[in-house]
Structure 1
Amino acid sequence: MWRAFSPKWVSGFIRPLHYRYRRPTDGKWFPFGADRIKAIDAAKQLNLEFMRGADLVGAVLNNATETFAGFLDKYEADVLPPRELAKGTLGLYAVHFRRFRKQFEGKAVDQITIRMIAEMLDALTPRTANQCRALLTDIFNHAAAKGLCPDNPAASTINRIEKKLRKRHTVEGLKAIREKSPEWLKNAIDLALITAQRRTDILDMRFDGVREGFLYVVQKKTAKASDAAWIRFRVTPELQAVISRCRDNVAPPYLVHRKPDRKKQKQAETKAHWTKVEERYLTRAFKDAREAAECYKGWKEEEMPGLHEVRALSLHLYKKAGKDGQKIAGHASEEMTKNYQKEHDEVIWSDAIPDLNISEITG
């Protein structure tokens, strides 16, 4: 293939007896000497290797290295655990890993090209494509460090532009959703409004976390990466009203809880408590209530706001009321860097005052 190699230019003049080969995976050039016939022959052989089915050729020639699936197993077992990633992050990675294994089934690590990865990413939504690209880049960085591939094909792809499709909740819309929600979901919505916390942190709030006039919360998403993960919310009258509504005759450890229709033995063994609400169940229940409320007619499915967008509405309402939502949200503050300087031997809690009036929504 003539396009695969070219004469070398020197000071504007061609030296026709010196040829180079351009590797299609990353554009790197390799000197092929002055023999034109040998250069063409070598280029043709290499082009065949880079074509689809190169994995079969490699198997016959016995030059295939470790399989991608095999290395991915090692990546999951050795690289991820020390990072102490959140359960939700690991769950998302598991979904991507299944996609990777299917896409690159039977391929060796060094047989996966830029084009193969680009074709996979092009078939995904921008957000998912960017997540997969970032994860693959890290995987191939580790593979290259082990000498399993000469370069990182994922790093040569380009991030997609993500357009935020989900719209924000309106006060009227969230009020309608809350009215269609069961009591436990109303409590979750109220806590999200008052504290502006994420889904995971809301579901982890405990009754024994309320002590000495504060509700103590450790944000999971930022606990390993931010200095503002330790927040104690002052139990204001507004927050106390929500906490009081969370109490019932079940006496569970978690503020947000529900008595399941059927208590399954397997769930009882895997869950922290049989009344604890799982993240996926919360998301699904919120969606059901939103659909029942019919509050956002005319909006596309991808535009529909979920429970996560309650956090954005909360911060908007705090700002509108002239209050500081920075510490409420758990955004980093200069003072909190001491937590990491002391390696958490003496955790310094960031104080927040959740005093937002949500009666316009709760009634």
Structure 2
Amino acid sequence: MVPRPRNKSNKGLPQNLYLDDRRGTYRYRRPTDGKWFQFGTDRMKAVDAAKQLNLAFMQGSDLVGTVLGESAELFTAFLTHYEEKVLPPRELAPGTLGLYAVHFRRFRKHFHGKAVDQITIRMIAEMLDELTPRTANQCRALLIDIFNHAAAKGLCPDNPAANTISRIEKKARKRHTIEGLKAIREKSPAWLQNAIDLALITAQRRTDILAMKFEDQRDGYLYVIQQKTAKASDAAWIRFKVTDELQRVISRCRDNIVSPFLVHRRPDRKKQKQAETKEHWTKIEERYLTRAFKEARETADCYKGWKEEEMPGFHEVRAMSLHLYKKAGKDGQKIAGHASEEMTKNYQKDHAEVVWSEAIPDLDISEIAG
């Protein structure tokens, strides 16, 4: 934006420095948020200070600290501290950390060069307004936690994110139909078909489906620890009885690719960086599964007339599974890993011995899987 022409009183003064004709004093307007700072009556000192400030702002230096004579920590630097020191002890699921990483990149770009105590409610609100309600609420919750930690260290006087208002989320996604999911499965590669079948049989989340290993099948059971709820729910430890239906799916997972994971694939090309971060080179990342499912859905073209935001993804396969279990007159609560009051506590003092919840995955999925 081109700055307004300077009036007669301010001609010859550096940008952002103004003369108050009424008082005969100089004042500096901080360009990032318009806040004013009184610089007294000494023209030479005011000009010198304004030039230094303008240079600091141009270089992206410690903005507030330059004005106030204090050292202020950049938000991006504190965000790194939050990632490296605050998050690890929480032992969050890989999927959650991956989602946070996306939000962190957004924060770094939007608040680049800003000090922690320089970020205002308006800055945060403007960023959130550009996002969908769901993403905006996720970012808001994360920023509230970040600024709580920053305030606890004295880096900002209050929490600007907490003063924003959460958005109303309207559930737009529709559920899969049997015909639709069948069409998607037919257009899916073999590994994705296996993932869909496991989701139908076990009603587990994407993260837990991709974490299932062949070695988890023992003594007639398939053992699963739900990553999302392992720290909050007693029902997160599930052992699925290997029924005929489940065994057929597990058997289809065995192919000519040597992999520890039930759902796996041979990548088009191995990338050294990915190979170093993955548990195994055949392991499928959650985002890749989501992308592949979307591609199969688009190829199947099974939900004509539906809006993009209404299109069900892989996550909705779990809802389909629970619906089919209920329709068949079976209890889907233990299958899904929903806690009940009668369940024995797994996380009592000193980590008592884990008590596995037993589930019988005997859903007939032949109508979809053939």
CA contact (8 A) 1:184 1:258 kept: yes
Please list the CA deviations of residues 28-62 of structure 1 after superposition, one character each: whole Å capped at 9, or x if unmatched. Answer: xxxxxxxxxxxxx9xxx89x679714485762342
How far off is 1:120 after superposition?
1.2
Cross-structure match for 1:179: 186
**Correspondent of 1:79 among 67, 74, 86:** 86
Answer yes or no: is 1:270 the counterpart of 2:251: no
2-side partners of 1:97 and 1:261: how far apart? Answer: 29
- Relative to structure 1, the CA distance from residue 313 to residue 51 in structure 2 (aligned partners, 3 Å threshold; closer, same or farther) is same
Structure 1 residue 343: Cα displacement = 4.4
Work out the CA distance in 2 between the residues paired with 1:266 and 1:119: 35
**Structure 2: which amino acid aligns with 1:52?**
D
**Mapped pair 1:287 → 2:300:** no
Q: Aligned partner of 2:199: which letter? A: A
**For residue 202 of structure 1, what is the amino acid of its counterpart?**
I
C-alpha distance in 2 between matches for 1:342 and 1:207: 32
Letter in 2 for 1:215: L
Q: How far apart are 1:282 and its partner, in Å?
A: 1.2
What's the offset of the Cα at 1:334?
2.5
Q: What does 1:93-112 align with in structure 2 at a 5 Å threshold?
A: 93-112=100-119
Instruction: Tell me the residue number matched to 1:13.
Output: none
The 5-angstrom pairing of residues 247-258 of structure 1 reads 247-258=254-265
Alignment CA distance shift 1:196-1:143 (3 Å): same
SS in 1 for 2:346: helix
Q: In 2 relative to 1, CA 96–266 (structure 1 residues): closer, same or farther, beyond 3 Å? A: closer
Q: Which blocks of at least 5 consecutive residues in structure 2 are unaligned?
A: 1-22, 36-56, 58-62
Q: Which residue of 2 aligns with 1:315?
A: 322
Superposition deviation, residue 195 in structure 1: 0.4
8 Å CA contact 1:49, 1:57 repeated in 2: no
In 1, distance between residues paired with 2:270 and 2:120?
49
On the 8 A contact 2:151/2:157 being kept in 1, the answer is yes
- Structure 1 residue 202 corresponds to structure 2 residue 205: no
Distance 1:231 1:124 in 2: 37
1:188 aligned onto 2:208: no
Instruction: Choose which of 230, 236, 241 in structure 1 pairs with 2:243.
Output: 236
Distance 1:351 1:57 in 2: 58
Q: What is the distance in 1 between the residues matched to 2:168 and 2:155? A: 31
For residues 113 and 259 of structure 2, what CA distance do their matches in structure 1 show? 49
**2:64·2:115 contact (CA, 8 Å) conserved in 1?**
no
Which residue matches 1:131? 138
Distance 1:196 1:63, change over 3 A: same
Structure 1's 342 and 228: CA in aligned 2 closer, same or farther, altered over 3 A? Answer: farther
Aligned residues: 320
> What's the TM-score once normalised by structure 1's chain length?
0.83
- What SS does the corresponding residue of 2:358 show, helix, strand or coil? strand
1:274 is displaced (CA, Å) by 2.1
Counterparts of residues 26-37 of structure 1 (less than 5 Å)? none
- What root-mean-square deviation, in Å, do the aligned CA atoms of Structure 1 and Structure 2 show? 2.2
The counterpart of 2:232, out of the listed 225, 228, 233, is: 225
1:345 positional shift? 3.8
User: Partners in 2 of 1:135 and 1:68 — Cα distance?
Assistant: 14
User: Residues 240-297 of structure 1, C-alpha deviation per residue, up to 9 Å, x if partnerless?
Assistant: 1111111123342111112233344444333222222221221111111111111011
- In the TM superposition, what is the alpha-carbon distance from 1:344 to its structure 2 partner? 3.5
Gap regions ≥5 residues in structure 1: 1-40
Partner in structure 1 of residue 43 of structure 2: none
The 3 A distance-change label for structure 1 pair 57 and 112 is closer
Q: State the distance in 2 between where 1:103 and 1:68 align.
A: 10
Q: Is the 8 A contact 2:64 2:118 kept in 1?
A: no
One-letter identity of the residue aligned with 1:324: D
Q: Distance in 2 between matches of 1:244 and 1:154?
A: 50
1:110 and 1:148 in contact (8 A); partners too: yes
Q: Distance in 1 between matches of 2:160 and 2:273?
A: 42
Length-normalised TM-score, structure 2 = 0.81
8 A Cα contact 2:253 2:262, kept in partner: yes
Counterpart-to-counterpart distance in 1, 2:344 and 2:32: 52
CA distance in 2, matches of 1:94, 1:88: 10
Query: Could you tell me how far 1:139 is from its partner in structure 2?
Result: 0.8
Of the three residues 123, 126, 131, the one matched with 1:119 is 126
CA 1:130–1:337: 2 relative to 1, 3 Å:
farther
